[in-house]
Amino acid sequence: MAPVAFVELPEWAWQRAEMRQALRSRDIGAVFRYVQQFGGVSQARIASAVDMTQGRVNEVINGRREVSRLDVFERVADGLGMPDDARRLLGLAASREGSGGRAVDLAAFPEVVRVYMSQASAADEMQHEARTAREVDVLAVRGLGLLALNDSLLRESFTRSGSAPLRLRVLLLHPESTALSLRAAEIGESVESLAHGVRLAEARLRELAQHCELGIWRYRSLPTWRIIRLDSTLFVSAFDAGWEGHESATYKVVQTPYGPLHRGFRRMFDAMVADSERVV
């Protein structure tokens, strides 16, 4: 049986929670039922679009037969005109024709796998990741609470003995930059105090050179993102007027085939390193 033109559902139908759950669980019987419900489409029309017999569609809808073959999932996705985010929820690649400008559900790009209210609530997981990390990147203002003090969140993880060499790159705000003066005003701290904190952090970080391959850079732009990369995992928070980075919500970001956030933050970090003054 040759398929005819695909079934066309309203865009909102693919955004319904029950439809998205059916796609995630690969329950094609439920998908067919929602196509009937939201699109007013008959079993015969579905059968024609997905290249099945009407009897087979009826069996799938009523749970007497399951769809498990990849080529059949592809045929169903094509026949129902699934947008790319729906295809990904079903475990399929994006269509070559593209999504036609439709908005994408974040569940189709699961880069952000966890959100914490602040750094404090992410601390245990960050320390766990740091214990085995081989490459670490940190973009901070002064980094005292992260790395520079004896009781800092991550310092102990980087002074461990008997482990493979660690590469640590740290970007800190230039203590003599205009951006530091602006940041000090934003958080209600004196320029002298903030600059002293940066210099103290640099001095204490130098001590880590005996434990790891260390690089410290000074950047001059007003800080926006606070980034902690522990191998392939990022913990990202924001700097804004009135609060420090550790007080912001912290997002755990992992690398995925389709997501741009992980690649974008790593690219930004590398670009800042290339444009900053290295001091260690």
Containing structural domain, residue 85: 11-91
The CATH number of whichever domain residue 194 belongs to comes to 3.30.870.10
Is 119 found in the same domain as 20? no
Is 183 found in the same domain as 65? no
Is 157 found in the same domain as 83? no
Is 22 found in the same domain as 66? yes
The percentage of residues in the chain with a pLDDT greater than 70, rounded to a whole number, is 90
Phi and psi dihedrals of 38, rounded to 5? Answer: -90, -20
Among 56, 91, 126, the domain boundary falls at 91
Output the average pLDDT for the chain.
Answer: 88
Could you give the 3-state DSSP secondary structure of residue 187?
helix
| Cα 63 → chain centroid | 36
pLDDT per position as a tens digit, 200-254: 999 999 999 988 899 999 999 999 999 999 999 999 999 988 788 888 899 999 8
Query: Could you give the number of structural domains in the chain?
Result: 2
Is 254 found in the same domain as 206? yes
Is 67 found in the same domain as 38? yes
Taking the C-alpha atoms of residue 108 and residue 234, their distance in angstroms, rounded to an integer, is 19
Is 80 found in the same domain as 146? no
Is 156 found in the same domain as 263? yes
- The predicted model scores a pTM of 0.64
Q: How confident is the model at residue 31 (pLDDT cuts 50, 70, 90)?
A: very high
216 beta partners: 170
Could you give the 3-state DSSP secondary structure of residue 113?
strand
Is 104 part of any domain?
no
Among 59, 91, 123, the domain boundary falls at 91
- pLDDT value of residue 109: 58
